[in-house]
């Protein structure tokens, strides 16, 4: 099939950005690489459809991330997914420590990320991993800047709590 | 370790794929497919709109252009095709699409047999069977469904109470009232979801595969026959 300029530009975008997108999406999915790949595939297909408009506006990354974040939240909200993830009542937890402990492994961090609600996880990934501003994150998540700030702060505190030496010892004795 | 960014980097440290080879062709093919489907859908909509306009405007124009012919309002109204009354030679708008839709649609039939615990239903898809029934969910599937596990909901019709951990359905879902009460409808991939409120104020979720061929109204018809009994329980998560 002959390649149009849309094809050429889109292919160049995919070539340079795809690996980073999948890896970043892995943080959203708490290490579920298959779901991360699905999210990126969905986002890239929709990016191709909207390519001329998005390219003109120069908002390719924001467009892709908006789709990835929303698709992930939709996926987590799906009843079929929810019903397969029963969790017990959360216990009362002590105040989180000031810093993350040393000697953690990637698996422990991914498990802690997985314990965050999807919106909170999205806020922390967009702010701390992609280095988006509060305003950019709020626009992308379609919420207020105050919500982004509170979600990010709560996420950091919750991660510290979940990854405290005592909690890690309980989970990985 | 104090920095959240360091923590996120650590989370990805042992995730494979950092040096994965990227071949954009697969993404390009998926994008082209989606674009083609969008264009076909738009073309279909344009065709239906044109058919509607032709069906309504052309007879009016012909009547209006007949010299000396000015029908009384009642006569003019009776000469137009009436909704639900097909006239030979005057196809109804949308009539061409209906047989195709009906041929693909699995019909709703009245429920027969003992009612399951938790939920009573007035209707079920023709030829389908109850695969599982607990206070948490009622699961229906075709008898030859490849997955017989009632805890797996893919390609099955499921009725359940909204999870205790979930809020009301998102505001951007389409409105689809059920029995005159609020309901929200959305299609997510191969799955249609209708979440609706019942008299007790609880939200009930009906999840159906797109392959049933139902539109939101048909799904609402099924949902309208659902009764939540005292034994029904909300899930978590």
A109 and B CB contact within 8 Å: yes
Q: What pLDDT digit, counting tens, does each position of B73-103 carry?
A: 333 333 333 333 333 333 333 333 333 444 5
Cα gap A48→B12, rounded to integer Å: 27
Is residue B8 included in any domain, yes or no?
Answer: no
Angle separating helix axes A145-162 and A134-141, nearest 10 degrees = 100
- Is residue B168 located within the same domain as residue B120? yes
Q: Would you say residue B134 has pLDDT above 90?
A: no
Contact A162, A154 (CB under 8 A): no
- Is residue B89 located within the same domain as residue B191? no
pTM of the model: 0.50
Residue-range domains of chain A with CATH: 5-82 (no CATH), 98-171 (1.10.10.10)
- Is residue B60 located within the same domain as residue B129? no
CA distances for A75 relative to A113, A121, A123, angstroms: 16, 14, 17
Q: Which residues in chain B have their CB less than 8 angstroms from residue A31's CB?
A: 11, 15
Look at B191 and A33 and tell me if their CB atoms are within 8 Å: no
For residue B168, the domain's CATH number is 2.60.120
Q: Of B104, B119, B147, which residue is a domain's last?
A: B104
Q: What is the pLDDT of residue B148?
A: 83
Instruction: Nearest by CB to B10, from A33, A75, A106: name it.
Output: A106
Look at A109 and B7 and tell me if their CB atoms are within 8 Å: yes
Look at A79 and B5 and tell me if their CB atoms are within 8 Å: no
Mean pLDDT of A8-15: 94
A28 and B CB contact within 8 Å: no
Q: Which residues in chain B have their CB less than 8 angstroms from residue A125's CB?
A: 8
Cα gap A26→A24, rounded to integer Å: 5
Look at B24 and A45 and tell me if their CB atoms are within 8 Å: no
Is residue B15 included in any domain, yes or no?
Answer: no
- Is residue B79 located within the same domain as residue B145? no
The DSSP letter of residue A128 is I
Largest CA distance in chain B: 91
Which tokens sit at B106? 């699995």
ipTM, interface predicted TM-score of the complex:
0.78
Q: What pLDDT digit, counting tens, does each position of B189-230 carry?
A: 788 899 999 988 888 999 999 888 888 888 999 999 988 888
Q: Of B85, B104, B123, which residue is a domain's last?
A: B104
Look at B28 and A7 and tell me if their CB atoms are within 8 Å: yes
- Is residue B76 located within the same domain as residue B169? no
Helix (H) or strand (E) holding B161: strand B157-161
Q: What pLDDT digit, counting tens, does each position of A19-68 carry?
A: 999 999 999 998 888 999 999 999 999 999 999 999 999 999 999 999 99
Nearest by Cα to A111 from A80, A87, A89:
A87
- Is residue B178 located within the same domain as residue B128? yes
3-state helix, strand and coil shares in percent for chain B, rounded to the nearest 5:
35, 25, 45
Closest chain A residue by Cα to residue B36 = A49
Q: Would you say residue B36 has pLDDT above 80?
A: yes
- DSSP codes joined into one string, B95-138: TTHHHHHHHHPPPEEE--SPPPSSEEESEEETT-EEEEE-SSEE
B161: which strand partners? B204
Which tokens sit at B157? 């019709």
User: Residue B203 belongs to what domain range?
Assistant: 108-228
Q: Closest approach of chain A CAs to the CA of B111, in angstroms?
A: 24
Cα gap A35→A116, rounded to integer Å: 17
Domain count along chain B: 2
Q: Would you say residue A161 has pLDDT above 90?
A: no
Look at B5 and A27 and tell me if their CB atoms are within 8 Å: no
List the single best residue of B8, B161, B193 to mutate versus A (max A Cβ within 10 A).
B8
Q: What is the pLDDT of residue B100?
A: 46
Token pair 């239906």: residue = B48
Q: Closest approach of chain A CAs to the CA of B216, in angstroms?
A: 17
Q: Closest approach of chain A CAs to the CA of B139, in angstroms?
A: 11
Spatial CB neighbours of B85, under 8 Å, sequence gap ≥ 6: none
Q: Of B104, B122, B147, which residue is a domain's last?
A: B104
Q: What is the pLDDT of residue B60?
A: 58
């Amino acid at each position: 099939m002959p390649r149009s300029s849309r094809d050429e530009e889109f292919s160049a975008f995919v070539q340079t950005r795809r690996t980073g997108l999948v890896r970043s999406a892995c943080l959203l999915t708490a290490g579920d690489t298959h779901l991360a790949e699905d999210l990126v595939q969905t986002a890239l297909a929709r990016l191709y459809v909207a390519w001329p408009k998005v390219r003109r506006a120069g908002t390719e990354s924001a467009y892709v991330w908006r789709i990835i974040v929303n698709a992930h939240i939709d996926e987590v909200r799906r009843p079929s997914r929810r019903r397969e993830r029963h969790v017990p009542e959360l216990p009362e937890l002590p105040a989180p420590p000031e810093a993350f402990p040393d000697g953690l492994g990637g698996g422990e961090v991914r498990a802690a990320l997985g314990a965050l609600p999807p919106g909170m996880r999205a806020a922390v990934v967009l702010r701390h991993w992609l280095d988006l501003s509060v305003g950019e994150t709020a626009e992308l998540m379609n919420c207020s800047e105050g919500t982004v700030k509170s979600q990010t702060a709560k996420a950091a505190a919750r991660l510290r709590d979940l990854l405290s030496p005592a909690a890690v010892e309980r989970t990985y004795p | 370790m104090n920095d959240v960014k360091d923590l996120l980097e650590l989370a990805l440290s042992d995730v494979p794929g950092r040096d994965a080879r990227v071949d954009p062709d697969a993404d390009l093919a998926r994008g082209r497919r989606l674009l083609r489907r969008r264009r076909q859908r738009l073309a279909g909509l344009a065709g239906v709109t044109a058919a509607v306009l032709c069906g309504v405007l052309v007879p009016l124009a012909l009547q209006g252009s007949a010299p000396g012919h000015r029908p009384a309002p009642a006569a003019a109204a009776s000469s137009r095709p009436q909704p639900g009354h097909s006239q030979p030679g005057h196809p109804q708008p949308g009539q061409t699409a209906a047989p195709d839709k009906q041929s693909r649609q699995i019909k709703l039939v009245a429920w027969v047999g003992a009612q399951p615990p938790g939920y009573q239903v007035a209707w079920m898809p023709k030829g389908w069977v109850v695969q599982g029934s607990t206070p948490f969910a009622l699961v229906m599937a075709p008898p030859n469904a490849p997955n017989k596990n009632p805890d797996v909901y893919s390609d099955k019709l499921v009725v359940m109470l909204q999870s205790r951990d979930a809020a009301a359905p998102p505001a951007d879902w389409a409105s689809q009232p059920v029995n005159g009460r609020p309901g929200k409808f959305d299609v997510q991939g191969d799955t249609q979801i209708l979440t609706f409120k019942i008299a007790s104020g609880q939200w009930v979720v009906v999840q159906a595969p797109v392959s049933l061929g139902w539109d939101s109204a048909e799904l609402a018809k099924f949902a309208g026959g659902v009764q939540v009994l005292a034994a029904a329980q909300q899930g978590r998560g």
